[in-house]
Amino acid sequence: MQRMKKSSADAIRLIAFPRRLLGVGELPAAVSADNLLGETVTGREPAFPFPILRKHCMSAITTQVVNDILLVGFTDSKILDSQRIEQVGRELQESVPQAVHKKMLLNFRGVSFMSSAMITKLVMLNKSCKAQGVGLKFCEVSPNVMEVFKITKLNKLFDIQEGEEKAMASFDKKGWFG
């Protein structure tokens, strides 16, 4: 067997789950950490394709339907990493069809920073929502993020509400005076 140089990333990929918790018992000698993570080392399918063991397996967003509104939250407080931004963007786009009642609310609770690449994903989400007839609103935007929206004048493009309850109620208002 050829010996490969291990990096710190490889060390992180060595999953610390006890084998008995996974119900695996003893692993065959041919199974490596890469193979456990669902990556093909020798062109074969992964030995144990548990979704929980894949890299970047944690969802970047949470979704739930409340009062016919698709409520979307973020799992990260800082959205800066390019791979994570791609994941957030992909998951947001995939969530648009879930808004069966044509109402989607992005709750930024806990998000303190985001990169300009993430702002691009939000603009693309807004465009997708408009194309599919989905009303999109933002709420609980932190002062740091709001400042970026104001500088870029995106606060004029996005419907930004203060709190979640107020944002949810605003979907039912019609016209200028409710």
pLDDT of 177 > 80? The answer is: no
State both tokens at 96. 């648009």
pLDDT tens-digit readout, 88-134: 999 999 999 999 999 999 999 999 999 999 999 999 999 999 999 99
Those residues whose C-beta lies under 8 Å from the C-beta of residue 148, and which sit 6 or more positions away, are 114, 116, 119, 154
What pLDDT is attached to residue 38? 43
**Residue 45 banded pLDDT, cuts 50, 70, 90:** very low
Crossing angle of helices 116-131 and 143-151, in 10° steps, is: 70
What pLDDT is attached to residue 172? 86
What pLDDT is attached to residue 54? 37
pLDDT of 23 > 60? The answer is: no
pLDDT tens-digit readout, 124-172: 999 999 999 999 999 999 999 999 999 999 999 999 999 999 999 999 8
Dist CA 108 CA 118 (whole Å)? 13
DSSP string, 135-150: EEEEES--HHHHHHHH
Q: What is the mean pLDDT of residues 17-23?
A: 38
Residue 50: how many other CB atoms lie within 10 Å:
16
What pLDDT is attached to residue 64? 96
104 sits in which H/E element: strand 103-107
Q: What is the mean pLDDT of residues 59-86?
A: 95
Dist CA 131 CA 112 (whole Å)? 29
What pLDDT is attached to residue 175? 60
The domain spans of the chain are: 15-53, 61-170
Fold of 61-170: Transcription Regulator spoIIAA (3.30.750)
**pTM score of the predicted model:** 0.66
